[in-house]
Structure 1
Amino acid sequence: MKIKRLPKRLRFAGTKLHHGLHQRIAPQPDGVRRVNETCVELETYANLVQSASAGFIGVSVLASLITAIIIAALVGTDAKTLMGIFIWSPALPCFAVLFYFASGAHRCRGAFIRINRNTRKLYFINPKKPERMHVMDWDHVEGIAGFIPIVTSHGYTSRHPLYLLSVDHAMAPPTEICIACGNLGVIDGDRSARMLWTYLQWFMAKGLEGLPEPPPLKTKPSRREASIQPYREWVTGLRKELGKPYGWLWSPISVPVWLFLLFFNAYPDSVEAWIQYNVPYAAFPRENDVLCGFAENRRSVTCGKGVKLEQ
């Protein structure tokens, strides 16, 4: 049966990566959620996109408030101006809320990738179709350090996640699937994707021997603690910045930058943590948990069509 292939433009400007231990860069667990002797579990690019759609609600409210203040300061506070501000200010937040629900982020927070070194299979559940688990041969997985150009009104940037491409022969017709994972590579380009690919090569060949450990999974905090944590991290970062040699000397420049990060980084992350607190991730079947060594007590919820999601 003919295989349904992905568009060739998906590989545009990406860097093809090869299987084997002869990699030019050291392995790092950049994008690894958890790992054991049997299996490695990866964060997906979709998880970051889903969280961004929730954080955009907070950004939209802040942007509307700032715009209203600027208009009132420049034009005046007469009745006609205030009425216009009152009517148009909710437009962007409403769009953000519609985008949030349209993206499906309110139903599923995202999904994970599992790669089992015993079965040499890759397992993945699409968060938009959590009732189906894709199973693909690791030895036939094609690795690409991806390239996603992003042009906005604020300028140009790019993302460089690790693409894992393979064919799911259980689908009709057999279909090529691309799963994006790992760090976005906003600052270091495709270096993060290549470090993760090297990590996966070493893990599949030698297990955990000599590999750096990923950060331990944190216990789930309360909703209040999760919402406050971005501000705590912001305060810690600012203190470290000012505590550097000549930190106070550079404060006229660094403090405005950190204030920008407060409003457009910490604040959206806080809003996202509060909104998404009870939104679950797509869960693997119990049999796969046992197979991959992740069989543990977990809390599951059931959404429409009897699909189980992990919280």
Structure 2
Amino acid sequence: MSRGDLTNAEWDRLESFSPPGGARGGRWSGHRRVINGVLHRVRTGVQWRDLPEGFGPRETVCKRHRRWSADGTWQMPLSRIPAAEDAAGAIDRDVSVDSTAVRARRHAVGARKAAPAAVPQKGAERGTNQVDPVLRKLAVRLEAVVRPGECPGRSRGGFTTKIHLVAEGRCRPLAFALAPGHYGDGPRLERVLEQVSVPRTGAGRPRTRPDHVLADKAHTSRKNRHYLRRRGIRHTIPERLDQQRHRKNRGSRGGRPTGFDSERHKKRNTVERAVNRLKGFRAVATRYEKRAYIYLGTVTLAALTIWLRT
């Protein structure tokens, strides 16, 4: 066992989410070794061809990571493990929202064709798609968070991709979405909050509404505040100076001042610490993947590791 591999306790929690494979091709073998190989690559950022031989053939590790990023296999345990934490009352439902820019390498841009929404499981017959219905639903949700395109953005520093992140009060990622690096934070608030979904262990719909949302001035806008009020979500977002002047110049038509709790807003550092944890994985801090859905799978696996080890 090398540093960063799954422990026995962590593998016991992940083993039930491993796909068994199809009837034609039989069951996949060596899930734990392959997942350890993907974790090694996500943690160190090495090229697939430089993967140590102890993790098996690099083609197997690479293809399985690509397949599981496309069909939603990585997303399933990330949605189920927080459910157990929520049932035990171990989730702080005061969430923080922010984004971080990730530098994309030159070979990570230039993709032409759209990424597949779902990939048939191993052993599926030709011309059919035997993806599990739960995985199909996750794949549709996955397709929504990687739009538009492959998310390469051009800025002064070169090609960049933004990760819009929602973190709960204990610095663990609840939801995230990808966008080009030159996109603003405010217009993406609604989309990233729509990805928050914590299933219940018993009967009932998933929890999709946090108790409180903390964000910085980049997310302040009438549209965002109206969206949060419509969903009944309390929020603490500071107002920019130009918005304050504009509201005062309009007089009574400008509306009432927005409430702001400066003491509660100090808790927003949780999302900054969650970003630091994610960027501790080198394959997340720098984007090497050309396809956005594969990079999203890399970010998902890093977030899953944080949940398992925190």
Does the pair score TM above 0.5?
no
Structure (1 or 2) with the greater helix fraction? 2
User: Normalising by structure 2, what TM-score?
Assistant: 0.26
The structure with the largest strand share of the pair is: 1
Q: Provide TM-score, normalisation by structure 1.
A: 0.26
Structure (1 or 2) with the larger CA radius of gyration: 1
